[in-house]
Structure 1
Amino acid sequence: MDFPFIKLFVLMLALGCCVMKQVEGRAFFVFGDSLVDNGNNNYLATTARADAPPYGIDSPSHRPTGRFSNGKNIPDIISEYLEAEPTLPYLSPELRGQRLLVGANFASAGVGILNDTGIQFVNIIRIWQQLGYFEQYQERVAALIGPQQTQQLVQESLILMTLGGNDFVNNYFLIPNSVRSREYSIPDYVPFLITEYQKVLARLYDLGARTVLVTGTGPLGCVPAELAQHSINGECAPQLQLAASLFNPQLTQLINQLNSDLGCSNCFIAANTNAMHLDFINDPQAFGFVTSKVACCGQGPYNGIGLCTGLSNVCPNREIYAFWDAFHPSEKANRLIVQQIVQGSENYMHPMNLSRVLALKPTKTNF
């Protein structure tokens, strides 16, 4: 004898178990540029891609994944800390059903705070479109677990936002006499960026974000690409360093102001990734690197010219290089950065490090 009602009830119980299992931890969402893109650009007609060897040479599959790394990037390592599976790119067809409840990565290589940043890459997911996708994501999840539970999932989630570097290297300094450099001096351009960034972060809050880790820029003038173009004896490019030295403190001030205005002491957390990078750039040997100037993969001076491709020089041991390619840290360097994000002092994390923030904001409910 068939019992369709009982079968349906058992199926509903099974689905409920699956949902509960997936959201026992904290959902994780990622916004930003190539430092945190884990493959969205694979699905776009753009030159800003990392889907060919030797990218991913040290990934679990030893194949390119779309990450601008020899292996794992910062979001992957944060996911490890959260004891969660890595978030999928939002454009991935695999991101559906219960996998949506883990979170999503909306980042896209080449983007910046400004819409005109990265226009040379043509098809990229600019930051306001990333936020639009986040809104769309919530509609998809609401259809799965309901609007109230979706709101709770988002409010209890961790969010990573990484923007700003491209607004300098792929906009202001991209070519001599760029449009933005004619429009602004660096001391005037930085406050303009901060004002525009405030709008982005405020919109993210409006969409439900309550724990947002905001990383600053690294030491822009010290990456192999800039050394190759501007350095004679290995010194960092001074104008780019000036930009980073102005941008990062003003970003921390913005974080303080947002938290104050919102009456939330730690909704936004500033990560001083500039200081984190400078530690191993200034003393690479102390961190097990043989160099912080030469990229592992590339060509030309400091391996900083052009793209990392199958025809590039590739170092045999990625553990001893701070930079994987002309712009991006190696997996080992990414792990050092995340270590400071999780456990670092107020010199690196303001108002507090990630472990303390998450201890104050435990997840409450399984759905």
Structure 2
Amino acid sequence: MGERVLTDLPAVSLADYAEQARALLPPDVWDYLAGGSASEVTLAANRHALDRVAVLPRVLRGVDTVDLGTRLLGRRYAMPVGVAPMAYQRLVHPDGELGLAAAAGAAGIPYLASTLGSTPIEQVTGVGADVWFQLYWLRDRALVRDLLDRVVAAGCRALVVTVDVPVLGRRPRDLRNAFRLPAEVVAANLPDGRDALAHSGAPGVSAIAAHTAASFAPALRWADLAWLREQVDLPLVVKGLLDPRDATEAVRVGADAVVVSNHGGRQLDGSPASVTMLPEVVAAVGDGCQVLLDSGIRGGTDVLRALALGAAGVLVGRPLLWALAVGGEPAARDALALLAAELTDALTLAGCSDTVAAGELRTLGVG
């Protein structure tokens, strides 16, 4: 992968980490992480839609200090940001999940650990961060039950169920590259041997897609979430909703939060950009639960946009993975500090002394 060191010039935006990571990572790994499904229309739409959201700033508000703090799922965090769940983080750096979780803990924000993490959940919670566990529903319900027991025993603060992956989206970059995991990177939260398919390459085949097809249950229903709500006494987050009708159903089965998300443009290509559906979902759920946003967040201005549209917070994924690739945990810490500085500037320029005030701003250009 090349030498993983920070360049002499510090990153001044999260985009800088992407450029550096692309130069460091093998092309097939970069494609796996950066790519989207089908023609990548939705992948591009996420960024374009966010760029169209204009926030109308207020002036002469006497803002000289800004409080980034917020409450998510009843807990206080240093800013309205969480680290999005991302699989196989040791693909980009040996620090992997431990490094990114430690960076999140230092920044005072939640870290969402993936079912397909390359480090066992018990080790991830051991770094001291507030960890939310992201669950992919497995075909074997006994394995789901076992994961739930481990999540509770490990001290996770919330359970996040991803509902937009009945099957993995068709990702041409991975098919062209016949992408497979290297031997040293495994699905560490699954029983021994269950990730063998993820390491078996063949021309025109994505080993990752083959592995998830064998492991994930495609026919998840609302009744399954209701069952889950009864099994675990943790805050429940439903991730991967776009339709307001699904958001209201999530509230009905007991969700404490929903994440408006199209999986970063990696699932149904042609689905709308997440931010375009955010106002409708916020209106639909009312006070029933908190609403978070992901897919396309690339800096502090995007966080401000989401807050102004009614989100309680955002999840940030790829930019933090790029930072991890560039310099492990130290670079991930720097990236989160940079994001906090960007959000502080954005709130100040918008005339907001805190994140609550951001929710009172007017926006233009959504949709």
Structure possessing the higher radius of gyration over alpha carbons: 1
Pairwise TM-score range, normalised by the shorter structure: 0.3 to 0.5
Report the TM-score, using the length of structure 2 for normalisation.
0.33
Report the TM-score, using the length of structure 1 for normalisation.
0.33
More strand by share: 2
